[in-house]
Amino acid sequence: MTQEQATDFAHDWVESWNAHDLDRIMAHYADELDFRSPLIQQLGAGASGALHTKETLRAYFATGLARYPDLHFALQQVLPGVQSVVLYYRSINGWPAAEYMELNAQGRVQRVRAHYAAPVTGA
């Protein structure tokens, strides 16, 4: 994946989230996937922290959008890899977030590892 391809993907992904457009968000993902995030557990979408189908991912994302109506992502950095990309951005409550995404041959996300941290304050 080139820097340009990764950046184009990242901007479209962030814009779809910021528009709260669930159909557009879901267009980035493969039907079968391995999506892991600590927020899955926090939002009650699965005790294991993992989702494996587009249908369960859609329900999880819908819950997140409803829970955080002011959700806005601010893209910080895009790191391309071999058929993968890491997006570093500000997430809910301004928290730093990084997502490692592997893409399939059709350019759809098939594997995600999401990471979040509370912002450091008063250093």
pLDDT(123) > 60: no
pLDDT tens digits for range 52-86: 999 999 999 999 999 999 999 999 999 999 999 99
**Tens digit of pLDDT for each residue in 79-105?**
999 999 999 999 988 889 999 999 999
Q: Where are the domains of the chain?
A: 3-116
In CATH, the number for domain 3-116 is 3.10.450.50
Cβ–Cβ under 8 Å, residues 97 and 89? yes
Instruction: Give CA separation, 57 vs 45, 75, 94, 109, 116, in Å.
Output: 9, 22, 23, 12, 18
pTM: 0.90
